[in-house]
Structure 1
């Protein structure tokens, strides 16, 4: 230990040769991943060399090394648990987001189709229909605004709905089938 603290590379090499195998096996038994066990032990020796001048093990040197490996294993296990919890929460989140996005896209497409069909109505019928449905005006208010009778407003709205049902009925059905 004193030779290691003074920076003696031969002492470090001796410690490495003596402890690498047993520490690796100890780590591998716990985490069952050869690469991760090797990395963990390599990290221990890297730490050991970089902190050699400040090391003051309170127990035997081998106990210090095994304790360091054990604590590192516990950190890895805790990190994996958090990682698994996070990864398991992702599919539900992405499916919800995907579903919501898909729903909004279809909603916009359907709204564009409906708007196109409304624009294709005869001008007077379209004006009456838009005042009725978009501006939420009563038949009486529309009749006064456009200088029509309430009966003709009612007739325009009824005919507009009939045309839109005919044109959009098949479109909405197909849209629903293909984009479900």
Structure 2
């Protein structure tokens, strides 16, 4: 039989202050159930209520040397439980707001990030295929698309006819279109690049 079960809260607090584990266990067993029910009523979550009560008793033990011997133990435990429950609710709300905010951010930005990645991949693929064009065709195409020279300017610079420049650019576009497999969302970007 546990002798501590006969002691008053006041006597148990005196023993706990001296580091008596059995007195602490008696307080724990005496009030755990009622505190759990109290926390569960406010939190409506068993795991959170258990965590709050466990944390309450851990801090009670850690601060037991500082306890005022005149305290109403159950009142003290109730008030402490209420503070811990309110902190849990605050953390939950902050966490919910953070998750909601993160979710909104992801929904708002994920498509644009994916588009940016796809655009970069497309740009790399276009550059690779341009480098694979036959030498003269590549030079004509790069003058047209990168240097923004007109067909006449390219013809003058390379000493070839306007018709040849026009034909080389058209052939380069046809080859690039055949070689580049592009997701539907990026076809307009590819068309813009090839037609500019």
Deviates more, 1:25-34 or 1:36-45: 36-45
* Counterpart among 158, 171, 179 of residue 166 in structure 2: 158
Listed as ranges, the gaps of 5+ residues in structure 2 are 1-12, 188-196
Matched, 1:24 2:24: no
- Structure-1 residue corresponding to 2:136: 124
Aligned length: 175
CA distance 1:175–1:61, change in 2 (3 Å)? same
- Structure-2 residue corresponding to 1:65: 77
Contact 2:52 2:84 (C-alpha < 8 Å) held by counterparts: yes
The Cα RMSD (Å) is 3.1
Deviates more, 1:126-135 or 1:74-83: 126-135
- Structure-2 residue corresponding to 1:176: 183
Deviation at 1:83, TM superposition (A): 0.9
Matched, 1:106 2:113: no
- Structure-2 residue corresponding to 1:45: 57
* Counterpart among 15, 25, 49 of residue 3 in structure 1: 15
Listed as ranges, the gaps of 5+ residues in structure 1 are none
TM-score (norm 1): 0.76
